[in-house]
Amino acid sequence: HHETGVYRCAGCGAPLFSSKDKYDSGSGWPSFDRPTNDAKVEEKKDTRLGMTRTEVLCENCGGHLGHKFDDGPKTTQCRYCINSGALKFDSQPPDTD
């Protein structure tokens, strides 16, 4: 997507990432430099596949979103590499009240 909006958890609808924080990491995966609200994602150490990574989960429903790496842009140094099947795009911003 190149529209303005919010990426929500496909499982429960929780707002997770903003289109303004999405960038092309060259990986082919949707990548963001930060979540909309740190409280909406949970980070867990993942040692599967013979490597150590940080798994990113939806804090609301526990759904697997992808992984976080420390090779992101200068703004945060973070790259949230997210499975597109774990996201649902909403062109309307989330309620802020």
Catalytic residues: 81
> 3-class SS at 50?
helix
Asked whether the beta carbons of 87 and 30 are under 8 A apart, the reply is yes
Strands (E), the chain: 6-9, 15-18, 22-23, 31-32, 41-46, 53-58, 64-69, 79-82, 87-90
Query: Cα(80)–Cα(71) distance, rounded to whole angstroms?
Result: 10
Asked whether the beta carbons of 41 and 16 are under 8 A apart, the reply is yes
